[in-house]
Structure 1
Amino acid sequence: MRYGIKTLSLIFTLSTLMGCSRVFAPSAGKLHTIAFYNTQNLYDTINDPQKDDDAYTPDGSMKWDQEKYNRKIQKIAQAIAPIGGSNGPAIIGLTEVENALVLQDLLGTPELKKAKYEYIHFETDDPSGLDLAILYKPNTLKVESRRNIKVDYGSKLNFRDIVQVNGKLQGEPVTIFVNHWPPRAATRRGQQDDSRLRIAAATLRKEINAIQAANPDANIIVMGDFDAEPRTKVMEEVLKATGRPNPYYKEELFNTFYMHYVNGLGSYFSRGDFKMMDQILVSKSLLSGAEIEFVRGSAKIHDPEELKFLYGKYKNTPVPTFSGNTYFGGASDHFPVYIQVKKAKR
């Protein structure tokens, strides 16, 4: 149960901070949408002997043929194109994409081709064969460097990395991290072991610490499927991502989806409840009058009717491509999430 005296106290505190602080003072400027989307197993239909993709082939258990693949590509393109408004996102992090081919097919759709996105993608060693990627509009984000950060989980069973991009967003320096943290492991006693999440969080925090040591006012945007909700120790204590906008705590990241979680909202539906697994975090510099500002109230879960069940037991939840081995033909079992930023006019 998420609600109670502590929650009400938290809401009051956050509301007071957000209402009183100058960090959310309004200013003019062009809006840029920054989004994240877990695409749920975006495999092509070709068997790659180096990857565990056998199920997603025409002869595999999912009967993953060209028709189903084309439908999924189309559904994802239709989900992405209107995020944040008619212009779509300027930047969108993606997870669970198999390779560059699926990204090229995605960007070749009528919905996305006109946006002239470019993409960043690294092949990883994850046995699943699923990677991270970033789509971006080069007239908005000028990419200066990119890297794939290896995370040492101490196991050969998981190799989920972190993608880092440095560049200039409308002329202002920015660092973007895209994540897909591994799921918790079950212990012998049936409890959840979050040690792999802690390793991922500590690895990311180390990178952020290095950036902030060099420049305490660095503009940092972190997005991903963290497999952990905002008010967990791994997010608040290890990564230092909180719902506290107070700029005094400069090293912290501000979790733009903290209040969504408090209000019982989520991007992923599991075991009868929405979970706020997909989040976007920003450095306090984006709250304190920097040249690039986070827009108050812009954090949204993109959940149009086209992505949801409209009736029945799962009404208003995402229509997945598959649930187990049952084919539903939807875009993904996650909703996209997004925020908006703008360049302040001085």
Structure 2
Amino acid sequence: MWRLLIIFNFSCFIFNCTTYGRQPIGIAYYDVDRLYDTVPALFYDDSDYTPEGRLRWTPERYTRKIRNTAAVIDSMALPIVALWGVENEQVVRDLAAACRGDYSYLHRTLNSLDGMDFALLYYGDLFYPTYDESGRRYLYVEGELGRDTVGLVLCSDPRTARWLIGDLREERPHAKLLVMGRTESLFTTDHGLRDRTLRAEKAGRGNVRSARKWRMRDRIWADTALQTSEGDVFARRYLVDQKSGNPLTTYSRGVYRGGYGYSLPVFVYIR
């Protein structure tokens, strides 16, 4: 029932958004669940994700992961997709090449202990990046989106998100912010943001699953100056194990399953 409801709601959002006076622009946030290449890194330990490592991460498995991730992005068919969990620029380049959409990409190295980075796939004729900065567990990308200057804040740590938003409000007051990732319920109206995934959460939906319950771990907060749809979770039957109800993961308890990942994307539309 939950899965059918998500698919129905997604269709409703598409219908409602097409009634806007201006063509809406969809933006998604997707934790791709540790998309490593197979080459051993020099500055952090990724030995599990090598052909000789504990997880036997072979070129064939890497290629399948790229293909699976691209299939999800193609299914969403959105012009801007923020990614968390990519190892390096080559991985992002391979992913962009595997997608049917004509995506440009932006990648920044975060120098994290596990090698995981953020990246952005986007249609260059809709979004034009003009400024970016990166730091511990975050990437900020500012650019022109139609008539608006929009700042995309990608963050994988709730504590980082709190102070980062405060700084951006002071340093980049002209930008309308869209905050995506592991922010949890940390913001108040003092930040001028609305949790656009809150309604979906109250309806019982989420993008990760634990103890047989869905939880909204990744959220989208929109600047009150932006006109957006309610956010939601992108779910399709092929992303979920029909027996357990859990997302089809790449690995489960160290055993290769060949799935997509442990989390589902979240999305919103900007008018």
What TM-score results when the alignment is normalised by the length of structure 2? 0.88
Partner of 1:329: 258
Q: Flag structure 1 segments of 5+ consecutive residues without an equivalent.
A: 1-23, 151-159, 182-196, 241-248, 287-292
1:55 has 2:63 as partner: no
**Correspondence list, 1:250-261, <5 A:** 251-261=191-201
Partner of 1:307: 239
Q: Which amino acid aligns with 2:144?
A: K
Q: Which amino acid aligns with 1:116?
A: D
Deviation, 1:304, is 0.5
Percent identity over the alignment is 26
Q: Which amino acid aligns with 2:228?
A: F
Quickly say closer, same or farther: Cα 1:251–1:202, change in 2 above 3 A: closer
Distance 2:167 2:101 in 1: 32
1:180 has 2:162 as partner: no
1:206 has 2:166 as partner: yes
**Correspondence list, 1:99-110, <5 A:** 99-109=88-98
Distance 2:85 2:251 in 1: 14
**Correspondence list, 1:238-257, <5 A:** 239-240=187-188, 249=189, 251-257=191-197
| 3-state SS of 2:105 partner | strand
Distance 2:251 2:195 in 1: 30
Distance 1:58 1:270 in 2: 30
| Structure 1 stretches of at least 4 aligned residues deviating more than 4 Å after TM superposition | none
| 3-state SS of 2:269 partner | strand
Distance 1:139 1:129 in 2: 31
Deviation, 1:93, is 0.8
Q: May I ask how many residue pairs the two structures share in their alignment?
A: 254
Alignment root-mean-square deviation, CA = 1.8
| 3-state SS of 2:191 partner | coil
Q: Spell out, residue by residue over 1:108-164, the C-alpha distance to the aligned partner (whole angstroms, 9 max, x if none).
A: 11xx2x42211111112211011111111110001111111x3xxxxxxxxx43111
Q: Flag structure 2 segments of 5+ consecutive residues without an equivalent.
A: 1-16
Partner of 1:93: 82
Pick aligned residue for 1:128 from 96, 100, 114: 114
Quickly say closer, same or farther: Cα 1:255–1:211, change in 2 above 3 A: farther
Q: Which has the larger radius of gyration?
A: 1
Deviation, 1:252, is 2.6
Distance 2:30 2:236 in 1: 14
Equivalent pair of 2:155/2:161 in contact (CA under 8 Å): no
Equivalent pair of 2:166/2:191 in contact (CA under 8 Å): no
